[in-house]
Chain A
Amino acid sequence: MAPSKHDPKLTDHDDALLAAYVDGVGELTPAERRAVEAQLPARGAEVDATRDLLAALRDLPGEGEEPRWTELAARISAAVGDRVPRPWWRRVLVPATAALALAACAAVYIHGRGGDAPSVPEAAPTAMNAPPHVADAAALNDTVWLDGQAVELGALDPSALADLEGDHGDDDVIAGALLPTPDLAWIDDLDAAGLAVADRWLVDRKGT
């Protein structure tokens, strides 16, 4: 049995979708379509009358005399000009973004330079603790790293240099055990026989 207009399952909303169904079934939701289609058998005459009325309305001749579209388009084109306007927020946003980017770059640059500048008072202890390096070639002309200390060559006492040259640490102890280094001048006075004796002494010494 076809549902009547007073079917309790149908709402007023469903009842009022008939014209929309007749005019554009594709624009109804599946639920709306099912609801209307359930009423169709009982509303056949209304469907036909609605269809006829909509067709008559669409057949109405247009009101007034249409302008010449090409001329109107040309008028509009001339009125608006050639330059594409940008909305206010784009006019503001682009310069603002550029300014922010510039400010960010400047901040990074300043921060980078600022990181070096305060290190001036700390440079001395840092240099003292750090191992010597060859990056500062100019500094090597004046300063050397010696026994854990930066030594200014220009300001150094020559006697201190002599002391430094005589201090060879453990290596000198080993050398002293092999040869009497303070008495090396006698080698120059040896003749051939003396050199032969010295060679034999060295061979014997190595053998022991």
Chain B
Amino acid sequence: MDVSVFGDLLRPVIAEGDLDRDLVARFQAGERIAFDQIVRRHQKGVWRIIRRYLRDDADAADVTQLVFVRAFKALGGFRGAASVRSWLYRIAIHAALSWIRDHRREVATELDDSALVAQAVAPAEIDRGRDSLRLRAAVSELPPKQRLVLELRVFDDLSFKEVAELADCTENTAKVNFHYAVKRLREILGGALEA
């Protein structure tokens, strides 16, 4: 088998993972500054995931801070079974869901407001903007598991292995869910994007 074909595709993922593992090892050896580097590398991704759940920028920043505080306390016991990124994202998803549970009424109100704003802005947007709204609306109609897999893969650029770790399924199941998510989106959108 000629694996060299995939070498270039896989190398960046492996190198990133090695860097994260090195930072974790340094942190576990007592080097506090290594944690700051982990924050700088992953805070954007963590914030984006949380923002998708919370729909509020400031709240997403607060929960992002909470996620890294939890990670700081737990990183000493990190064994490396999962990638650092998917480990952080798992904490982020749990923190976001906890926050929603604790602030359910507020979130419901804010979601209604944001929907109104989106509808109000849409007529003034160009076609591309309308396509964006349609796409996001279609994604929100997906079954939860398919939506999670699709978002982690497309918006967070995770490997199928990492997606599987976060979605609590096998890598094959993640691939299959991804396929059916795409297929379902095409059915929802019909020819909307091409129109």
User: If A52-B193, A63-B51, A85-B76 touch, does A13 touch B172 (CB 8 Å cutoff)?
Assistant: yes
- The answer to the question of A206 belonging to the interface, with a C-beta cut-off of 8 Å to chain B, is no
Q: Of A60, A63, A76, A82, which contacts B32 at CB under 8 A? A: A82
Which one of A24, A32, A64, A85 lies within 8 Å of B73 (CB-CB)? Answer: A85
> With A and B bound together, what is the CA distance between A83 and B82 in angstroms?
25
Which residue of chain A lies nearest to B67 when distances are taken between CB atoms in the complex?
A76
Q: B60, B77, B181, B185: which contacts A87 (Cβ < 8 A)? A: B77
Q: Contact: B10 with A64, CB < 8 Å?
A: no
Count of chain A residues with a beta carbon within 8 Å of a chain B beta carbon: 47
Is B99 part of the contact surface with A, judged by Cβ < 8 Å? no
In the complex the two chains form, what is the Cα distance from A50 to B35 in whole Å? 39
A16 CB, min distance to chain B CBs, angstroms: 4
Asked if A75 and B9 make an inter-chain contact with CB atoms under 8 angstroms apart, the answer reads no
Question: Does A96 touch B at the CB level, under 8 Å?
Answer: no
Instruction: State in angstroms the CA–CA spacing of A138 and B3 once bound together.
Output: 83
Q: Which residues of B contact A82 (CB under 8 A)?
A: 32
Interface residues of A: mostly helix, strand, loop or mixed? Answer: helix
- The residues of B that contact A16 with a CB separation of less than 8 Å are 175-176, 179-180
Enumerate chain B residues within 8 angstroms of A32, measured Cβ to Cβ.
175
Q: Which residues of B contact A73 (CB under 8 A)?
A: 36, 39-40, 43
Report the contact-size class of chain B (Cβ under 8 Å from the partner).
35 or more
Q: How far is the CA of A125 from the CA of B126 in the complex (A)?
A: 111
CA distance A85 to B160 in the complex (A): 32
Question: What chain A residues lie within 8 Å of B153 (beta carbons)?
Answer: 23
Chain A 1-40 against B: per-residue CB contact (8 Å), 1 yes, 0 no? 0000000000001001111100111111010100000000
Asked if B39 and A53 make an inter-chain contact with CB atoms under 8 angstroms apart, the answer reads: no
Q: What is the bound-complex CA distance between A62 and B135, given in angstroms?
A: 13
CB <8 Å contact, A20 and B39: no
B interface: dominant SS: helix
Contacting residues, chain B, for A25 (C-beta < 8 A): 6, 9
Closest to B29 in A: A84
Q: Is A86 an interface residue (CB 8 A)?
A: yes
Task: State A62–B51 Cα separation when bound (angstroms).
Answer: 10
Q: Which residues of A contact B135 (CB under 8 A)?
A: 56-57, 60
Contact B160 A53 (CB under 8 A): no
Which residue of A is nearest B72, CB measured? Answer: A80
Inter-chain CA distance A88–B74, complex, in Å, is 10
A102 close to B (CB within 8 Å): no
A residues in contact (CB < 8 Å) with B? 13, 16-20, 23-28, 30, 32, 49-50, 52-54, 56-58, 60-67, 69, 72-73, 75-77, 79-80, 82-90
A-B contact sample (12 more), CB < 8 A, given A19-B178, A56-B131, A73-B40: A16-B176, A26-B6, A27-B159, A53-B189, A57-B135, A58-B154, A60-B136, A64-B51, A67-B47, A69-B43, A72-B43, A87-B74
The 10 closest A-B pairs by CB, nearest first: A87-B77, A26-B9, A20-B175, A26-B6, A19-B179, A80-B72, A19-B182, A87-B76, A16-B176, A16-B179
